Structure 1
């Protein structure tokens, strides 16, 4: 096939408070813009790890769009199916940290290029040429209005039976109707990668473990991302814990997306679950060691060196 990985979404830039403990209300310095967007991060990390990647979606015609698209293009991602929307702006996320590390976001998402996303932006021929198709819950939730929902469902329907589907739930806590939004994508998914707290809420169970075991019983591979505690991989055969790496965290933004890219890369390469999980943990760990959502996306030889030289937690 032409592509190892295809996904859909839109560029975002992140602009971050330079110092921790500074509110959005007071005048102070920011740093950025940094290229971002959860599916953009997945593609960039996967491409640097060695996969052939394709991006579907819409983008603005402003300088912030160039920040993201130029980065993706430099890293070899096929952007030929990204439609530039004349006069449209790029989504912006302002980020700040409290002294204790808690994050706060201020999103500028409405009336940006992705607002114009529609069924015509889905190239079925490109979809048919992809081994893996990755969906983000954030994108699905933003695209939950009638027009954009039709586009997402058209993409889902265009996926060949022998292609694999990955879902990262990645939804915001106050999003209503999560199960209804996710249901057709959960049904088709071969690989689901929730973070702690997402699996139970998405499936309406009391615990993440109950949700993960239920999905695994349906034949799916479910990877529960647990941050500095590593990850738990649920399959029909049981549960496998894969420890994280000991690192110093600077900025966790993009960690989960990098993890997804690492795990998919491992599966594309035919790695066993444990090795794919180790690669995913390494990709996530490297991301949090740098400031900026894509700044820790290192090349494969660097990631392999990190795995050799760094000890995983028990």
Structure 2
């Protein structure tokens, strides 16, 4: 089943298709369960787009054991279980000398087939699988029905050991490489970018590499740029990369040029790491952000209609001021957070009492992590 956000006078007319399964996420540290939350890139992205009043359809599959109330009903597979990931945060240090998590897929739901997608056209498509649910033929169908397709590379290069631990394969060996010229944007974390040749891929589609606390870099055929980060009080890195992609696409839907939209992506990534699991955004903060975005948007011109890369990728006048305004919005929100209601569409999650409010995952970790 696919649902959509009801149209309101403030809802953009551009439509977005999100494709990726909901998951059950279990966060563990020191052998104990810290939290059990709704997971999957689709949940984090839809949370951001809802906050930005962006209309979208969501195609996701779950099993009969799916236990979270959501605003966008998934396809329930009666013969399957919901995909489950266990994230272990006490497995030592990675090669980059920062504490990292070990991610294991312990249950897997059915993949999303081309026939599961809606039979209609979309302005934007987002392929955001986390458990191997995006098939090459499904991505090809998305290219056919969406004017611009955005892909998180984890949907293409994730593979799994026999014990369920996530491993990455090179993009050229993923079975998706031939589709790159038909994509608009490919997003990767700095670790994931090591599994592709950025200089080669940027000749076919725009590449966005996220660097966690250091912001992101945007590469296109004829240039590249760095986009500044936002300060973050990191508690849990889960979903930060997904929220970045949601903010990035949300900014483009609202008419921002690429550099400004990437700032919105960095902003939502920084908000997400301050929460355990799926974040609950302050409603007043969301309203301030939407007002800032409306002020910045290119009047009367949809991003999809601007074919000149030099215009779309050039930092416009006032870019630094836009960054400062977003930063200011976060500071103002923090001062009055106690009185704020939760964001629409947020779901309940189980957080063990002994961990509430404690920065258990902060220790030098990079916050650019997806599901």
CA distance in 1, matches of 2:150, 2:143: 14
Figure out how many residues of one structure are paired with residues of the other and give that number: 268
CA distance in 1, matches of 2:171, 2:207: 18
Q: Secondary structure at the match of 1:193?
A: strand
> Gapped runs of 5+ residues in structure 1?
206-210
Q: Which of the residues 33, 51, 59 maps onto 2:54?
A: 51
CA distance in 2, matches of 1:133, 1:157: 8
Does residue 194 (structure 1) correspond to residue 188 (structure 2)? The answer is yes
1:254 positional shift: 0.2
CA distance in 2, matches of 1:186, 1:298: 37
CA distance in 2, matches of 1:177, 1:214: 13
Q: For residue 106 of structure 1, what is the aligned residue in structure 2?
A: 104
Q: Which of the residues 144, 153, 157 maps onto 1:158?
A: 144
* CA distance 1:309–1:297, shift in 2 (3 Å): closer
Does residue 168 (structure 1) correspond to residue 162 (structure 2)? The answer is no
CA offsets per residue over residues 154-205 of structure 1, 9 Å max, x none?
Answer: 5235325xx1110110243734463242214422111121111323423xx3
Q: Could you tell me whether the CA contact under 8 Å between 2:248 and 2:261 is conserved in 1?
A: yes
> Gapped runs of 5+ residues in structure 2?
1-11, 93-97, 159-165, 293-324, 332-371
Q: For residue 255 of structure 1, what is the aligned residue in structure 2?
A: 240
Deviates more, 1:257-266 or 1:226-235: 226-235
Q: For residue 88 of structure 1, what is the aligned residue in structure 2?
A: 80
1:48 positional shift: 1.5
TM score, norm. by length of structure 2? 0.64
Q: For residue 252 of structure 2, what is the aligned residue in structure 1?
A: 267
Q: For residue 118 of structure 2, what is the aligned residue in structure 1?
A: 123
- Alignment map for 1:1-314 (pairs within 5 Å): 4-17=15-28, 20=29, 22-23=30-31, 28=32, 30-62=33-65, 65-67=66-68, 70-71=69-70, 73=71, 77=72, 79=73, 82-98=74-90, 101-110=99-108, 112=109, 114=110, 117-125=112-120, 128=121, 130-136=122-128, 138=130, 142-143=132-133, 148-150=135-137, 152-153=138-139, 155-156=141-142, 158-160=144-146, 163-170=147-154, 171-172=157-158, 174-176=167-169, 178-179=171-172, 180-202=174-196, 205=197, 211=198, 213-218=199-204, 220-292=205-277, 294-295=278-279, 297=281, 299=283, 300-301=286-287, 303=289, 307-309=327-329
CA distance in 2, matches of 1:118, 1:274: 34
RMSD: 2.7
